[in-house]
C-alpha cells in the first residue's frame, strides 16, 4: 500500500517552455503533498507543501510564480515549472502523507528534468 | 539555523551491523523521528519511525535517547543491496515554528 506515482519520469525541454509534473497517490487519499528538489549528491530540499483544495505554502526562496503547484484532489498534485531555464534542471520528487502524520511521507519515484 | 547532522559517508562489509546517528538538538517536542533510504535516481523509501526509546521492525532498529537530541538507525547484517543514502527526517523548532528538516544524508557503501 501507500504507492505514489510521478509522471513523467524524465523530461527534456527547451529553455523558455513550461513543464508539468504529476504526482498521484494510487491507493490512499493524501491530505498533504510535498514537492522537493534534489541536486546531485545533495539532500532533498523542500520547495512547497500543498493541502488539497488550498494554496500551496512555499519555502523561503522558492518562487511561487515560477513553480506553480495545484492540488485539486486528494490523489493528484501537479508542479508546473514555468519558462524553464537550464538552472531549473534537477530531480524533482513529490511525496504524500495522511492527515496529521507529515513525518511519514510516501515518495514518488522522482522526475528528472533537463532544460536545454 | 536549526539543522540535523549526520556523517557524510560510511563503509561497511557484508554481514556487519551498521549504526548511523543523526543529531537534532532543536527537535520539536511532539514529533516523530523518521528514517528513509534512497537509491540513485529514485525517491526515498520509508525505513522506520520512532518517538523515543527503541523501535524495531523487519529491516532496522531505531534507538532514541531520553532527551531525543539524537537518533541512531541500526541495520543488522547489511548486504550489498543496502548500499544507499540514508536520511533522518525530524521536525525542528526554528523561529518559533516547527519545520520538517531532512538531514544531509549518510552515504553507506557495503563491500563484499
pLDDT category of residue A23 using cuts at 50, 70 and 90:
very high
Interatomic CA distance for residues A79 and A36, integer angstroms: 10
Q: What pLDDT score does B69 carry? A: 92
Q: What pLDDT score does B2 carry? A: 62
The answer, for B102 touching chain A at a CB cutoff of 8 Å, is yes
Residues 6+ apart with CB under 8 A from A10: A111, A112, A113, A114
Interface test with B, best of A40, A105, A110 (most B CBs within 10 A): A105
At B4, list the grid cell.
Answer: 540535523
Model confidence pLDDT, tens digit, residues B1-35: 568 899 999 999 999 999 999 998 888 888 899 99
With 0-12 CB in 10 A as exposed, 13-18 as middle and 19+ as buried, what is B63? Answer: middle
At B57, list the grid cell.
Answer: 521492525
Looking at the DSSP bridge assignments, the partners of residue A32 are: A51, A97
pLDDT category of residue A52 using cuts at 50, 70 and 90:
confident
pLDDT tops 90 at residue A104: no
Residue of B nearest to A48 (CA): B100
Q: What pLDDT score does B14 carry? A: 97
Model confidence pLDDT, tens digit, residues B53-83: 899 999 999 999 999 999 999 999 999 999 9
Overall average pLDDT of the B85-92 stretch: 92
The answer, for B46 touching chain A at a CB cutoff of 8 Å, is yes
Residue of B nearest to A5 (CA): B43
Overall average pLDDT of the A87-101 stretch: 91
SS3 at position B74: strand
* Cα dihedral: B59, A107, A34, A48 (round 10): 100
The answer, for B50 touching chain A at a CB cutoff of 8 Å, is no
* Residue B54, phi then psi, degrees to nearest 5: -125, 135
Q: What pLDDT score does A95 carry? A: 95
SS3 at position A85: coil
> Which of A43, A103, A109 faces B87 most closely, judged by CB atoms?
A43
* Percent composition of chain A: helix, strand, coil (DSSP 3-state, to 5): 5, 50, 45
Q: What pLDDT score does B1 carry? A: 59
- Asked if residue A78 lies in contact with residue A94, where contact means CB atoms within 8 angstroms, the answer is no
pLDDT category of residue A25 using cuts at 50, 70 and 90:
very high
pLDDT category of residue A1 using cuts at 50, 70 and 90:
low
pLDDT category of residue B100 using cuts at 50, 70 and 90:
confident
Strands B18-23 and A32-38: unpaired
Q: What pLDDT score does A20 carry? A: 97
Q: Which of residues 71-90 of B touch A (CB under 8 A)?
A: 87, 89-90
Q: Which residue has the cell 517536542?
A: B29
Residues 6+ apart with CB under 8 A from B110: B11, B12, B13, B14, B18, B78, B79, B80, B81, B82, B83
Amino acid at each position: 500500500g501507500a504507492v505514489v506515482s510521478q509522471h513523467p519520469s524524465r523530461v527534456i525541454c527547451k529553455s523558455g517552455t513550461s513543464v508539468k509534473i504529476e504526482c498521484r497517490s494510487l491507493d490512499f487519499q493524501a491530505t498533504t503533498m510535498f514537492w522537493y528538489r534534489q541536486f546531485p549528491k545533495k539532500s532533498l530540499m523542500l520547495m512547497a507543501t500543498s493541502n488539497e483544495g488550498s494554496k500551496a505554502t512555499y519555502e523561503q526562496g522558492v518562487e511561487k510564480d515560477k513553480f506553480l503547484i495545484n492540488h485539486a484532489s486528494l490523489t493528484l498534485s501537479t508542479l508546473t515549472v514555468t519558462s524553464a531555464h537550464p538552472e531549473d534542471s534537477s530531480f524533482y520528487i513529490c511525496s504524500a502523507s495522511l492527515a496529521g502524520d507529515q513525518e511519514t511521507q510516501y515518495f514518488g519515484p522522482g522526475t528528472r528534468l533537463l532544460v536545454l | 539555523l536549526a539543522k540535523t547532522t549526520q556523517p557524510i559517508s560510511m563503509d561497511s562489509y557484508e554481514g556487519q551491523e551498521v549504526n548511523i546517528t543523526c543529531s537534532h538538538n532543536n527537535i520539536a517536542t511532539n514529533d516523530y523521528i523518521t528514517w528513509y533510504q534512497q537509491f540513485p535516481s529514485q525517491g526515498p523509501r520509508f525505513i522506520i519511525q520512532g518517538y523515543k526509546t527503541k523501535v524495531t521492525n523487519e529491516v532496522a532498529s531505531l534507538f532514541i535517547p531520553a532527551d531525543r537530541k539524537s537518533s541512531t538507525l541500526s541495520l543488522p547484517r547489511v548486504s550489498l543491496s543496502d548500499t544507499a543514502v540514508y536520511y533522518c527526517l525530524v521536525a525542528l523548532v526554528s523561529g518559533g515554528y516547527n519545520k520538517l528538516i531532512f538531514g544531509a544524508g549518510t552515504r553507506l557503501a557495503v563491500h563484499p
